Chains A and B, each alone.
Chain A
Amino acid sequence: MLEGLWLIPILPLAGFLVLAVAGSSLSQRAVAMIGAGSVGVSAALASVLALSFIVSPPLGRAYSQTLWTWLEVAGLKPEIAFYLDPLALIMVAVVTVVGFLIHLYALEYMRGDEGYSRFFAYMNLFIASMLILVLADNLLLLYLGWEGVGLCSYLLIGFWYRDPANGYAARKAFIVTRVGDVALIIGIFFLYTHLGNIQIQELLRLAVQEWPAGSSMATVAALLLLGGAVGKSAQLPLQTWLPDAMAGPTPVSALIHAATMVTAGVYLIARMNPLFSLAPAAQLAVAGIGAATLLLAGCSALVQRDLKRVLAYSTISQIGYMFLALGTGAWTAAIFHFLAHAFFKALLFLCAGAVMLSLHHERDIFKMGGLRKQLPLVFWAFLIGAASLSAVPYVTGGFYSKEAILLEVWQSPLGGPWLWTAAMVGTFLTSLYAFRMVFLVFFGPVKEKASAKPSPYIAWPLIILAVLALGCGFLATPGIEGGPSLFKRFLAAALPTQNAGFHGEVLPLIIASLFSLGGILTAYLFFLRIPRVGDSLARNPAGSILNRLWFAGWGFDSLYNFVFVRPVLWFALANSKDFTDLFFRGIERASAWSHVALSGTQSGKVRWYAAVLAFGTVVMVALAVFL
């Protein structure tokens, strides 16, 4: 059964090729069939594959399939080969299943758009690239997928290219992530030069063998990989592109900028976990970046007015949780949070899209209100998503995943009270901004009438994702005999576990629940019950400064503008005549001048020519005689 693995990435790729070549001549119906169909078949295959993987796991709980040798130069021999282990399987399942649901949704959302076939071509290419990224057996193939998803992200953010702002956002996303990508490729070069291999499993084995724990080599390599992860996953200090990336169509935000691509960094670190285990300093950096990002982005999410920007900051913040988990060695907790996050954040984005569709693309949450009665399905779906995001105890998947992270941060030798406190404050912030959205958009007075009810194409993905967002918590249940959870045992072959899991520490659990519920209560008081208090807080001097600072995402954009963008633009302007061309322009100038001078000698006077000839001869003879 596992032999069909190669079909999973190939199908969306074929879909992309068909749509790219013939898309403009196909009817919208045919485009829909190909675009969503290829991913649908891929998702079905992935489900069958996952089932067979679980029922009869292959030897060593990993299956690898070599298709062909990519190239072979001086000992470098990357292969087009896929490696399927529990970690990759979870990624593949999420990418294809969530991807398929979002494709279904996009069928309706993008209906009538002039770039319909272009949209699905890009989306299919994205799914194919993402699958290559997670299935890659060596780092070079992984990098191919890594760049592929970056390209699709760029193309889809700037999908409505007629608006220059969208093009700007697309370029910003591409360039900022590029900073991280450069670090990643240098990291790959570094690993190859020092270990002589790029096949991931072999490489990790060699690293553990050759480098002692805490060695500077391992630290440098891990930090370089972290640079790539930070760029792709929009973590501090490269987080600025993600809020602007919301310029793309909403299904794109749901698929690329919430559920899958932005978690590629998490996957990379989890995949390379033995290397990070060798470098405690790099791991501390991962945890520190995660904790700082989750707090900063959480604060920014609190004050945004644009519904999608709130969700974007929330995504940054949730990926911060995943980084925090990775940094404290809670590998499975990070992947579990990725899984839950993919479901509930895609759900939230799709709900936001449905809200915007029915409100004529209104994005300002202060102009929305009272949609609870008008769009009951979207309301319930959004409520489930927000509850899962805020980790409402016992009923949501988000609770179990976040709980696992908090617990491991508390217990882990790499964690500690500071990181745990940051995560706790983050929990409070999360439920505060999540329910701020819920109360502002769906409760209160009706400000604008919703135009249309969502169609089945929009409704079904919402329902399925809502069920998944609530239901994925069951994976955290301990087995019948107690011990580690289902999810942890499933991932045990791919990711090490540092402790057995739940030991009956009820107190941190209760504290976390209180923080989460406290956030919801605060949101209820501030944004629904007595909005005056919130307003007066935002209006006093300190509050308004903080408000503006958070609204601008802590001013990172202005800082980077000042430090990087402006000097580069200034230099480009100053050098608009390009000083490296001076030499060549000098040659041009000299030849033009000598042309004028020499053409003056062509007078047409025979006697003048004869005189010059005679003079020249005399000079030549004189030279021959005297030199």
Chain B
Amino acid sequence: MNAASGQFGLLLAAVLFCLGMVGVLVRRNVIFILLSIEIMLNAAGLAFVTAGALWRQPDGQVMFIFILAMAAAEVSLGLAIVVRLFYRFKTVDVDAAARMRG
């Protein structure tokens, strides 16, 4: 892998990461927030894989496996929370859950 395609891969990862972050910050629907987090995780994974390919190291791909496992765990927990949230507030708007007492 040459340096130019490496640069391109990293740039793509950065763009994806920013898109994900903007999604987290601006969307109020909790499902979309989870999706955006997923995008950010994958952006990070892409950055690892690209960097691993650039330096010819397997570590990047190893890290990506870790991220995948973690993302799966996170999603299962996140979806469970979403379900509880929906039962409680009858909505998937996160700002409805801003009240911290009670």
A residues lining the B interface (CB < 8 Å): 602-607, 610-611, 614
Contacts and interface: CB of A to CB of B under 8 A. Distances in A.
Residue of B28, B95, B97 ringed by the most chain A CB atoms within 10 A: B95
Interface in B4-25: 21, 24-25
A607 B100 contact: no
B73 interface: no
B94 interface: yes
21 contacts: A603-B98, A604-B97, A604-B98, A604-B99, A604-B100, A605-B94, A605-B95, A605-B98, A606-B94, A606-B97, A606-B98, A607-B24, A607-B28, A607-B33, A607-B94, A607-B95, A610-B21, A610-B24, A610-B25, A611-B25, A614-B21
Contact of B25 (A602, A603, A607): A607
Nearest to B27: A607
Chain B binding surface, main DSSP class = helix
A610 B26 CA distance: 10
A606 B33 CA distance: 10
The 7 closest A-B pairs by CB, nearest first: A604-B98, A604-B100, A605-B98, A606-B94, A610-B24, A611-B25, A607-B25
Given A603-B98, A606-B94, A607-B94, 12 more contacts: A604-B97, A604-B99, A604-B100, A605-B94, A605-B98, A606-B33, A606-B97, A607-B28, A607-B33, A607-B95, A611-B25, A614-B21
Contacts of A610: 21, 24-25
Contacts, number: 26
A610 B95 CA distance: 13
Contacts of B97: 604, 606
Interface residues of B, number: 12
Interface of A is mostly: helix
Contacts of B24: 607, 610
B96 to A, nearest CB: 11
Nearest to B21: A614
Contact of A614 (B25, B26, B33, B99): B25
A377 to B, nearest CB: 87
A604 B28 CA distance: 14
A458 B97 CA distance: 91
A602 B100 CA distance: 9
Contacts of A607: 24-26, 28, 33, 94-95
A610 B99 CA distance: 17
Interface string B74-100: 000000000000000000001101111
A436 B95 CA distance: 98
A399 to B, nearest CB: 94
Nearest to B100: A604
B25 to A, nearest CB: 5
A607 B99 CA distance: 14
A606 B21 CA distance: 13
A615 to B, nearest CB: 10
A616 to B, nearest CB: 13
Contacts of B100: 602, 604
